[in-house]
Chains A and B, each alone.
Chain A
Amino acid sequence: MDADVDVVMRVAAGDRDAVAELYDRHASRVLGLAYRIVQNSSDAEDVVQEVFSQAWRTAQAYRATRGTVAGWLLMMARTRAIDRVRSRQARPASVGDDHLDAVPSDSPTVPDQLIATEQAVQVREAMLELPADQRTALELAYFEGLTHTEIAERLRTPLGTVKTRIRSALSALRRSVRS
């Protein structure tokens, strides 16, 4: 059995030590994505804590047939990080909010080749090959959680065009994963 799935099954069975193992295996990736979305270390670390709490509470609902453990954790991280950005935007700005980053942006990252799956490498390469307008639309949807309408407003582009760009981008990425 996949070692990741084995860990999640132990978490589901109520083994708190398995959460530590899950954390050691995936925290750097969850933090990387959370940071990419919320753009500051303190919020990104809060997201990491929320994600592992949620994983602990809901591990029984994880289905290996529906995706990898990393995918499951990153999906939670994305949702929570976007929620955080949205609620931050909704309340008035206060000191600290715009402090991008206590950690310098060139802080050490875990070498990608040590953690990225082959699939992630394929997706990243395919992302780089996308036409710029498709990549921008997809990034706004994925990293900023903008709806198609919001992206259309942000880019001053017709809604239909935005939909087509995102659909084409996702199709291209799917083809890259399949091949």
Chain B
Amino acid sequence: MTLVRHVEIMEKLEAYALGQLPEQDRRDVDAHLDACAVCTRELDALNTVLAGIGESVPAKTPPPALRSRVLEAIAKEPQDRPAPVPIAPARQPRRIQWALASLGVAAALLLAVGLLAFRSEQSRRQLAADVSQLQERNAELVERVQRYNGQADLALSILTAGDMREIPLTGQQNAANTAARAYWSPERGLLVVADRLPAAPPGRIYQVWVIENKVPISAGLLDNESPGRGMLIVTPPRPGAGGMVTVAVSDEPPGGREAPSGSIHLLGSI
């Protein structure tokens, strides 16, 4: 699924839910929905609202004869055949599972003992190297604190902006359990935070995109130095057009790209 394609479909979901799409477009959306959890959730939310509009219309007591008419009609009618249920693969016999489990425990014990021995030798040798590294790192940390202070100011100004909109981001693929949100102020900038974010695929980094009018603009690289965390705080990548905004995170080669080319990991629109 490409990002551009996803955004194209997302734009059509309202018309789809309202039953306004021509046949071909409707089939396109159907095909995309089969593969896209974000659009499926978006559609469910739209359907909930549309159902609410239907339910908000005053009810009307049906005439008594209508009930018998309905029941007579279905008495003659057969039901549609259900779709065939896929057959689940047979489970492994319990005894084999036990054998595999105990093998696993033994292997894990061996691995742990080995790792501990390796670690203690390693830490002794590293202690000396660490002292000099610590001093270097201290300087680096001071610089970083200064940078973070600047970023914290920007984050605060984004979060308190009058035009700030909160965009929940939904994890895709390996990031299904990631909790992430974007805070978008067209005037002040973009703040993206992610928790339980898996590391980017080997040799790749996470890049953040803001998409308006189907054009993705890079908002920068997602900082995920702390394991499982991701953060980006930037001034607006460009002036907001005021319409639908999509924020996406894709994996890209180091340094990032001009336009998204890798898989999408986080996605949300408002």
A residues whose Cβ falls under 8 Å from a Cβ of B = 12, 14, 16, 19-20, 23-24, 27-29, 31-33, 35-36, 44-45, 48-49, 52-53, 56-61, 66-68, 70-72, 74-75, 77-79, 82, 107-110, 112, 115-117, 119-124, 127, 138, 141-142, 145, 147-148, 164, 166-167, 170-171, 173-174, 177
A28 touches B55 (CB 8 A): no
Contact of A60 among B47, B59, B79 (CB under 8 A): B79
Contact of B55 among A29, A52, A56 (CB under 8 A): A29
B51 touches A68 (CB 8 A): yes
Of residues 212 through 270 on chain B, the ones whose CB sits less than 8 Å from some CB of chain A are 243-244, 270
- Bound form: Cα–Cα A174–B13 in Å: 14
A120 touches B56 (CB 8 A): yes
B77 touches A53 (CB 8 A): yes
Shortest Cβ-Cβ A-B pairs, 3 listed:
A71-B51, A123-B52, A120-B55
Contact of A16 among B54, B71, B82 (CB under 8 A): B71
Closest chain B residue to A145, Cβ basis: B19
A32 touches B59 (CB 8 A): yes
Number of A-B residue pairs having CB atoms within 8 Å of each other in the complex: 173
State how many angstroms separate the Cβ of B10 from the closest Cβ of chain A: 11
- Bound form: Cα–Cα A145–B50 in Å: 12
State how many angstroms separate the Cβ of A80 from the closest Cβ of chain B: 11
Contacts of B244 in A (CB 8 A): 167
- Residue B111 at the A interface, CB < 8 A? no
Closest chain B residue to A68, Cβ basis: B51
- Bound form: Cα–Cα A71–B73 in Å: 23
- Residue B88 at the A interface, CB < 8 A? no
Q: Could you jot down 26 A-B contacts, CB within 8 Å?
A: A19-B71, A28-B59, A28-B62, A29-B55, A35-B60, A44-B60, A49-B70, A53-B70, A66-B44, A67-B44, A70-B51, A71-B51, A71-B52, A107-B61, A108-B61, A109-B59, A110-B59, A116-B55, A119-B52, A120-B56, A123-B53, A142-B50, A148-B15, A167-B14, A174-B46, A177-B52
Q: Mark B36-60, 1 if CB is under 8 A from A, else 0.
A: 0000000011111111111111111
B70 touches A28 (CB 8 A): no
State how many angstroms separate the Cβ of B41 from the closest Cβ of chain A: 10
Q: How large is the interface on B (under 10, 10 to 19, 20 to 34, 35 or more residues)?
A: 35 or more
Contacts A45-B62, A52-B74, A58-B79 known; list 19 others, CB within 8 Å.
A19-B74, A28-B60, A56-B74, A57-B79, A59-B79, A60-B83, A67-B51, A70-B51, A71-B47, A71-B48, A71-B52, A71-B54, A74-B51, A75-B47, A75-B50, A82-B19, A107-B60, A123-B56, A170-B14
A53 touches B49 (CB 8 A): no
Contacts of B55 in A (CB 8 A): 29, 70-71, 74, 116-117, 119-120, 123
Given the known interface contacts A82-B19, A148-B15, the answer about A109 and B71 at a Cβ–Cβ threshold of 8 Å is no
Contacts of B75 in A (CB 8 A): 16
- Bound form: Cα–Cα A59–B48 in Å: 19
- Residue B80 at the A interface, CB < 8 A? yes
A49 touches B54 (CB 8 A): no
B70 touches A57 (CB 8 A): no
A109 touches B58 (CB 8 A): yes
